[in-house]
Structure 1
Amino acid sequence: MRNSISINCIVAALFLAVFSLAACGVKGPPIPPKAAATPAVALTYRLDDASVQLKWEMAADLSSKQARQATFTIYRSRRDLSEGACEDCPLVFEKISTHPFVQTDGNRFSSVETLDPGYGYAFKVRLKIPGQAVADSNTVRFEYPPAGQSSDKETP
């Protein structure tokens, strides 16, 4: 009985040793596969009467698979100008529209959004591709003054 226990222990130790040596050799936490990088989105704007024309351009093309799944989401933050300026206040964005990705010449896209007078606005665009990390575009900010005041602004 004692012999069979020591033989079983020796067999178990040999079994563990063999399978321990057969491992890949590199120990550490698992590393997820790298996803394809999403291109940067550069956003500009132009004020037209009671609306803003947002224009954005992507720095690189999407693969055909990415293009089939991609969408652009436009986010807006606004504050009442009568509340006064608050340079250090955080921007709270809300989703206002989503557009499917449609390949264009030069990767240029645009959208027109209506404005209410008397507000300061901030807009950003996010390219969304399922299963990939996304980055927001730059944020554009401007004030749309109350009726009777002029606002003829455009980003460079």
Structure 2
Amino acid sequence: MTSLYKLFKYNLIFIAMVVMVVVLSVAGCGKKGPPSPPRQLAVPSVNNLESKIEANNVILTWTVPEAKEKESPPITGFVIRQAKYPLSEEICENCPINYKPIAEVAADFNGNDRKIKYIKQLDKGFKYFFKVTAFSKNMTSESRDSNIIKFDY
């Protein structure tokens, strides 16, 4: 009876070990975390935003940036953002600027002339800040901010 008991005991241990190995191998590897979106190539950003003041208008111009990677989504438009503060208001050096989108411009250009122009009427007595971001179709991807234009008017 003791030999039958030992055989049953060893079979039970063997089965338990096999079950543990199967459970541990199926349990996975690594730490579970929140889902992350698939990697998406960035839209190239505008880096040559310029301004010119004529009459009561500011004329913003920039060049449509070329993609550095072939798989980058094509630029379909731009968002112009503006911040406007009274000249009497002090703006601290490290305070965030409160930009608001004021317009969307399609990335329409002819041939080799990749220049885009946007005209905005100005009000006297304000500090103005402008920046531009590029976006792809259906705004699925947006670029980093352009250089910032700031002036008093």
* Residue 136 (1) aligns with residue 145 (2): yes
Match of 2:124 in 1: 117
CA distance in 2, matches of 1:126, 1:95: 10
CA change 1:18–1:126 in 2 (3 A) is closer
Percent identical across equivalent pairs?
20
CA change 1:34–1:65 in 2 (3 A) is closer
Match of 2:5 in 1: none
Q: TM-score, normalised by structure 2?
A: 0.68
- The runs of 5 or more residues in structure 1 that have no matched partner are 145-156
SS of the equivalent of 1:66 reads: coil
CA distance in 2, matches of 1:102, 1:65: 18
Q: TM-score, normalised by structure 1?
A: 0.67
Match of 1:12 in 2: 19
- After superposition, the CA RMSD in angstroms is 3.5
Residue 84 of structure 1: how far off its partner (Å): 5.1
Aligned residues: 138
String of CA shifts for 1:64-120, please: whole Å, max 9, x gaps. 9833x6321001111112x15535253211111012222443432111111111211
- The runs of 5 or more residues in structure 2 that have no matched partner are 1-7
CA distance in 1, matches of 2:14, 2:71: 61
